[in-house]
Amino acid sequence: MSFELTILGCSSATPTRTRHQSSHFININNKYFLVDCGEGTQQQLRNFRIRLQQINHIFISHLHGDHSQGLIGMVSTMHLLGRKEDLHIYGFIEGLKQIIDVQLKYSETILNYKIVYHNLRSDIPEKIYEDDSLTVETIILKHSLPCCGFLFAEKEKPRNIKKEFLEKENIPFEMFNKIKSGEDYINPEGVFYKNEEITYPVHSPRKYAYCSDTMYTESIVPQIYGVDILYHEATFTEDLKSAAKEKFHSTAFEAATIAKTANVKELIIGHYSARYKELDPLLNEARSIFKNTYLAEEGKKYCIS
């Protein structure tokens, strides 16, 4: 039951020789998602030997080019490779659809598959994806354009019934699923069992929160509280705090403060300004506040066990 994140691009708006624009590939129990799609994302997927066609859901946080300019390339290549399956694109659709459509129009491309667009709202978080085991919610970020982060969360799984209880009590068949769903139990003799006493959770639902691009905003804390991995942009170091604020970005210090306040298990920082040849200043700054911080590194897999 995998829950893996692969960073495809960790640069901010201007890519560098070694860093690409934003994109994250997520594999949750062999369902494959792409979050943001900067220029060159399809090439990075190839570099890391990830098959494009298995991706059925692409989430675009906002319409700055470094998060979206690679989308038309993905759409085109999926077409050229013979895709038939629907592709779901989540984003601010008015612009995104026009950007895709005008390029398809002038290249005279009629896709041999369907794009299903899902529009985002920029005012309050909403659930935008759900399947039997997973939900994706938007996180409202604070940027110079309408911008959403995304919270990938496993659903609560039915609890397991304790073995010793099963051995002790002769539970009627129809009660099994009810107890697993959290109901208490009263046996034929009237003995009351509280659910927590007779069951245990399978494992806590795993959660990954993607927050890029945003300036420092504590409004996201309740929603991302306790997540296993928080990816939070850290475009600048604290000495450039005013530049960060002006450009609606965060410093490493601010990203770490959010991680600490939200009591997350692990913080990954990324979206580095091209000015940083070495990333240690960003990492050290964040770790001074929140020890369990890691750098986003392209091609590296981050797993939640």
Q: Which is nearer to a copy of itself, 96 or 209 (CB)?
A: 96
Picking from 141, 160, 127, 277, the residue whose alpha carbon sits closest to that of residue 220 is 141
Q: Which is nearer to a copy of itself, 144 or 177 (CB)?
A: 144
**Dihedral (Cα; 269, 271, 276, 279), 10-degree rounding:** 20
- In this structure, how many other beta carbons lie within 10 angstroms of the beta carbon of residue 200? 11
Picking from 263, 292, 294, the residue whose alpha carbon sits closest to that of residue 280 is 294
Q: Which is nearer to a copy of itself, 64 or 249 (CB)?
A: 64
Q: State which of residues 54, 98, 204, 288 lies at the interface with a copy of itself (CB under 8 A).
A: 98
Q: How far is CA 247 from CA 6, 9, 193, 236, 284, in A?
A: 27, 20, 57, 10, 22
75 contacts 53 by C-beta, under 8 angstroms: no
Q: State which of residues 2, 53, 77, 261 lies at the interface with a copy of itself (CB under 8 A).
A: 77
Picking from 64, 98, 57, 59, the residue whose alpha carbon sits closest to that of residue 78 is 57
Q: State which of residues 63, 166, 171, 175 lies at the interface with a copy of itself (CB under 8 A).
A: 63
| Range 106-135, binding a copy of itself (CB under 8 A) | 106-109
Q: How many angstroms separate the CA atoms of 159 and 154, rounded?
A: 14
Picking from 188, 246, 234, the residue whose alpha carbon sits closest to that of residue 11 is 234
Q: State which of residues 8, 50, 72, 229 lies at the interface with a copy of itself (CB under 8 A).
A: 72
The values of phi and psi at residue 300, to 5°, are -80, 140
| Range 156-185, binding a copy of itself (CB under 8 A) | none
Q: State which of residues 24, 57, 64, 88 lies at the interface with a copy of itself (CB under 8 A).
A: 64
Per the residue annotation, which of 36, 66, 213, 228 is the catalytic one? Answer: 66
Tokens of 209: 């929160």
Q: State which of residues 1, 102, 202, 303 lies at the interface with a copy of itself (CB under 8 A).
A: 102
Q: State which of residues 103, 135, 195, 292 lies at the interface with a copy of itself (CB under 8 A).
A: 103
- In this structure, how many other beta carbons lie within 10 angstroms of the beta carbon of residue 112? 11
Q: How many angstroms separate the CA atoms of 231 and 249, rounded?
A: 14
Q: Which is nearer to a copy of itself, 96 or 289 (CB)?
A: 96
Q: Is 66 a catalytic residue?
A: yes
Binding segment for a copy of itself (CB under 8 A), chosen from 92-100, 177-185, 262-270, 280-288, is 92-100
Instruction: Indicate the burial class of 245 (C-beta count within 10 angstroms; 0-12, 13-18, 19 or more).
Output: middle
Task: Please report how close the Cβ of residue 209 comes to a copy of itself at its closest, in angstroms.
Answer: 24
Q: Which is nearer to a copy of itself, 63 or 221 (CB)?
A: 63
| Range 8-47, binding a copy of itself (CB under 8 A) | 13-17, 20, 39-40, 42-43, 46-47
Contact positions toward a copy of itself, by CB under 8 A?
13-17, 20, 39-40, 42-43, 46-47, 49, 63-66, 68-70, 72-73, 76-77, 80-81, 92, 94-96, 98-99, 102-103, 105-109, 144-145
Catalytic machinery residues: 66
